[in-house]
Chain A
Amino acid sequence: MKQLLIVIALLLAAPMGAVAAAQPATQDDFVPAGSLPPAETLPAAPMVIAAYGFVWVAVLAYVGFLWRRLQKVEQELRDLERRVAER
């Protein structure tokens, strides 16, 4: 009996081994997370925030820059107009 069971087990093992060997070495859809290309492991959210944040910073910096220059010019304009009036 035991010998028959051993023979049956061995007979079953062979096709199972054949099926296991017939699986493709790498599967297309699922890859261990450690071997993904670097770009795909980057978190997208901080990059989106960085991009939008940059737009805000750039525009506000420019507006600030304009504001400062305008203040200087208007101050100079007031000084000059006063000097012209005094003449």
Chain B
Amino acid sequence: MKKAYVPMLVVTALMFAVAPVLIARAPFETTMGLIQKIFYFHVPAAMLLFGSAFVCGISSGIFLFRRTPSADRVATAAAELTVLFGLIVLVTGPIWARKAWGVWWQWDARLTSSLLLWMMFVAYLLVRRYGGPGAEKLAGAMAIFGMANVPFVYVSVNYWRTLHPKTSVVPTLAPEMRGPFWFSVAAFILLYIVLLTARRYLEAQRARVEALHLALED
């Protein structure tokens, strides 16, 4: 993992440098025009939001039932990234919506449930920070409920009447849009792996500091 890190970092940076070029060359969507190009970052960020929620939930589950500290470190890292990618989704979405729908926000099923999902992981970070001893388990429970919420957020747009596009959009993308889109998805996945690894490393170093503090006190 360590040896692959710097190359991965470089590749990610390059991909993000190239992405805007590909996105600019992609065809315009017929009804929305230029503003639709936000799609190429908004949707991959949403995919990573859901994925990160799963990573956090699963590692929290492992931590709760097996008490493995490394699982807890992954969970913390993933929770922070869930909040980061969620923030990206919740800011790029309304910018797009303001132009496409005329309003910044709508209290429909998809937007409301996405906001709640994001808030669950913000709550995770709050509890971890301010909950005192034993807060990791509390936060872990939160992460499990958050993970259980993800499928609901995903299908909400198909079962309720919302302004938000349905999940059928991605599988039926126009051919010329698929290239830039999946390229962006790959770039975001790499970015996620890079950030998660760095955050895990930070957490591991923190654990070492704490262990040394304890050793010195003896």
Q: Which residues of A contact B (CB under 8 A)?
A: 37-39, 42, 44-45, 47-48, 50-52, 54-55, 58-59, 62-63, 66, 69-70, 73-74, 76-77, 80-81, 83-84, 87
Q: Which of B35-43, B53-61, B118-126 is near enough to bind chain A? A: B35-43
Q: Which of B34-73 contact A (CB under 8 A)?
A: 34-35, 37-38, 41-42, 45
Q: Is B41 a contact of A52 with CB atoms below 8 Å? A: yes
Beyond A58-B84, A77-B209, whether A44 also contacts B99 by CB under 8 A is yes
Q: Which residues of A contact B41 (CB under 8 A)?
A: 51-52, 55
B87 within 8 A of A: yes
Q: Is B212 a contact of A48 with CB atoms below 8 Å? A: no
Beyond A54-B91, A54-B92, A81-B212, whether A47 also contacts B98 by CB under 8 A is yes
- A76 and B212 alpha carbons, distance in the complex (Å): 10
Q: Is A66 a contact of B199 with CB atoms below 8 Å? A: yes
Q: Can you report 16 residue pairs joining A to B where beta carbons are below 8 Å apart? A: A37-B102, A39-B101, A47-B35, A48-B34, A48-B37, A50-B95, A51-B41, A51-B42, A51-B91, A51-B92, A52-B38, A58-B87, A66-B199, A70-B198, A83-B216, A87-B216
8 shortest interchain CB distances as A-B pairs: A39-B102, A80-B212, A44-B34, A44-B35, A51-B92, A51-B95, A51-B38, A73-B205
Chain B 92-120 per-residue mask, 1 if CB under 8 angstroms from chain A, else 0: 10011011111000000000000000000
Q: Which residues of A contact B208 (CB under 8 A)?
A: 77
Chain B 190-218 per-residue mask, 1 if CB under 8 angstroms from chain A, else 0: 01000100110110011011001101100
Q: Please, which residue of chain B has its CB at the minimum distance from the CB of A42?
A: B99
Number of interface residues of B (CB under 8 A): 36
Q: Please, which residue of chain B has its CB at the minimum distance from the CB of A54?
A: B91
Q: Which residues of B contact A69 (CB under 8 A)?
A: 202
Q: Is B216 a contact of A76 with CB atoms below 8 Å? A: no
In-complex Cβ contact of B202 among A38, A47, A73 (8 A): A73
Q: Please, which residue of chain B has its CB at the minimum distance from the CB of A66?
A: B198
